[in-house]
Amino acid sequence: MNNAVIPKQLSLAVSLRDDATFNSFLVTPQQAEVVEQLQRFLYGNLEYYIFLSGGSGVGKTHLLQAVCQQAAEQKIPACYIPLTDYQQYGVTLLDDLEEMSLVCLDDIDAIAGLPEWEEALFDLYNRLQAKQRYLLITAAHSPQASGFLLPDLTSRLAWGLRYTLPALTDEDKLHALQLRAHQRGLSLSEQVGRFLLHHCARDMSTLFSLLDKLDNASLMAKRKLTVPFVKSVLGV
């Protein structure tokens, strides 16, 4: 795990997944524009703010962390904060983040409807804009549909570039599984991939976790991934 630069207020380190990179992200035709925009986000881009929305499992967190990984490789000060996990730390979590070159806030709808948090986020947005810092935000829905109480915050979040990541088709999920397997040195046939899609939970987080489990089982048993072997490992 690569440690992200984190605010001094946090006592618990925020880590980035080593496999959350652009190379490990399956780019569908519908996602090509946003991925290209994110890859050059930190390199002379006139846009300092991007808002990504989309349902669970479409790759928002992966892309957010991929930008942070890219920043770390270039020694650019950056922080990644999943607000679903860290709202317990209080709004001081957002203090002084304008000192970072890049701020990535994941799942900001987690703090929608909380006045103190909304005020703090609004203030942070303005501080980042004043210093021309880069800001990436994700949410399940658009700013207008995220349930924010503060009109000025909704207005600010609606500025800049906004992209909605589409839901993945079964073919997209199959190809994403095969890409992840290939990068781990694992051969995942179409037959085994479709078996997983048809007999297991269909969200990508669960599917990737199952692939990790199958990879470990395959190494220990020194067996290839076949449907009978997958059935025995998963008990399905």
Domain boundary assignment for the chain: 2-164, 170-234
pLDDT at residue 6, rounded to an integer: 47
| CATH number belonging to the domain at 2-164, selected among 2.60.40.10, 3.50.50.60, 3.40.50.300, 3.30.70.60 | 3.40.50.300
Return d(Cα 22, Cα 140) in angstroms, integer.
21
| Collapsed DSSP state (helix, strand, coil) of residue 102 | strand
What are the 10-residue block averages of pLDDT along the chain, 236 residues in total?
A: 47 64 88 90 80 91 92 90 83 91 94 95 96 95 95 94 91 92 90 92 86 91 92 88
- pLDDT attached to residue 11: 36
Say whether 6 sits in a helix, a strand or coil: coil
pLDDT reported for residue 178: 93
State which H helix or E strand residue 213 sits in: helix 204-221
**Can you say whether the dihedral through the CA atoms of 148, 152, 156, 162 is positive or negative?**
positive
CATH architecture, range 170-234: Orthogonal Bundle (1.10)
Q: Please tell me the pTM assigned to this model.
A: 0.83
Q: Are 49 and 160 in contact (CB under 8 A)?
A: yes
pLDDT of residue 125: 96
